[in-house]
Amino acid sequence: MHTENPAEVSGASTMTFGKVWVALLVLTGVEVFLAYEQLPTLIMLVSFLGLSIVKAAMIIAYFMHLKFERFSLFLTLFPMLILCILLMFISMPDSQRLLHMRPPQ
Amino acid sequence: MSEVNAAEMTTSVWSGGASPYAVDSKKFGMWLFIISDALTFSALLIAYTYVRLSSPQWPTPFHFFPSIVFSSIMTFCLLSSSLTMVMAVHAMSHGNRKSTVRWILATMAGGLAFVVLHATEWRNLIVNEHMTTRGNEWNEPLFGGTFFALTGLHMTHVILGVIYLGVIAFAVSRGKFKAIDVEVSGLYWHFVDLVWMFIFPMVYLLSAKL
């Protein structure tokens, strides 16, 4: 709920922000570790995307205070954003068609 | 119109009398900008992934040193600057302007360190790996084009963010601006950090030289 004082709006202590920062650093370390594990590209892609989404959610929820705003703000902004991003993936299967159309080098 | 109706008009959400989101208009404006900018970066990242998947031999030019080490330190700089920005917002909400300015300056230092390291990384790719926006040694010209477009747009956002924070810090030190202004600038800075959380693994780590 919004008040005049942003400290009340945030609803989180500085200790919580510190914990989020540490968690973000740990997840980044996991990503760097995974990069040298020689996994198949698709598994790497999905892993990195999943970890990035978790990190983005933590930044949005805590650092950007969205967790402590009204739910109506989230509903107005994010479902539309997610839908638009998902629609962009429509073109992705075409990349595989293009791959097989390339002349051998 | 009776007085009762007039009172309803200024308090009812559906009559426009109160904000349905209970946030300041500046903050809501920044959120709308962030959503539109997120779509821009999403389009660029998806275009990069499209080009990568359609290429049989995508280059992996990022050596552990300097590229991966530098980009990891850059990630650390941005994440730490987000924490210092949160502390700046916290200090300003408690009316401590001196502390707010110090935290914002620390945030700017993190942003500047990011830009310097990124410029060094670009220089390494251009001078040592002979990579340009139109060609490279791996015969995959779109790699340079998409890489420089994506990271260049992000670096521009970081540079503009540092300037924005500088203006805010200067105004706060002069006794101007309210807590909401610092909070809104913080939203922008966290968004810049958030975008890098996608660019770092999708561009650098997926093309690391093993």
ω into B66 cis (within 30 of 0): yes
* Band of residue B21 on the pLDDT scale cut at 50, 70, 90: confident
Residue type at A30?
Answer: V
Q: Any bridge partners for residue B62, and if so which? A: B208
Q: Does B49 touch chain A (CB under 8 A)?
A: yes
Q: What are chain B's domains?
A: 24-207 (1.20.120.80)
pLDDT at residue B140, rounded to an integer: 87
Structure tokens at B25: 């208009």
Closest-CA residue to A1 (of B108, B19, B81, B33) = B19
Residue type at B143?
Answer: F
Structure tokens at A92: 């992705």
Asked if residue B144 has pLDDT above 90, the reply is yes
- For the segment B113-124, the average pLDDT, to the nearest whole number, is 96
Q: How far, in Å, CA of B149 to CA of B147, rounded? A: 6
Predicted complex ipTM: 0.90
Which string of DSSP letters, residue by residue, matches A11-69? ---HHHHHHHHHHHHHHHHHHHHHHTS---HHHHHHHHHHHHHHHHHHIIIIIT-GGGS
Q: Which of A13, A24, A26, A100 to mutate to test the interface with B (most CBs of B within 10 A)?
A: A24
- Average pLDDT of chain B, as a whole number: 92
Q: Which of B58, B70, B86 to mutate to test the interface with A (most CBs of A within 10 A)?
A: B86
Domain ranges of chain A: 6-101
3-class SS of residue B58: coil
Q: How far, in Å, CA of A16 to CA of B87, rounded? A: 12
Q: How far, in Å, CA of A82 to CA of B80, rounded? A: 27
* Band of residue B13 on the pLDDT scale cut at 50, 70, 90: low
Structure tokens at A1: 């709920």
Tell me the count of A-B CB pairs closer than 8 A. Answer: 152
pLDDT in tens, A24-82: 999 999 999 999 998 888 899 899 999 999 999 999 999 999 999 999 999 999 999 99
Q: Which chain B residues have a beta carbon less than 8 Å from that of A103?
A: none
Check B56 against A59: CB less than 8 A apart: no
pLDDT at residue B76, rounded to an integer: 98
Q: Does B68 touch chain A (CB under 8 A)?
A: yes
Q: Does B87 touch chain A (CB under 8 A)?
A: yes
Higher pLDDT, A57 or B132: A57
3-class SS of residue B208: strand
pLDDT at residue A7, rounded to an integer: 44
pLDDT at residue A100, rounded to an integer: 87
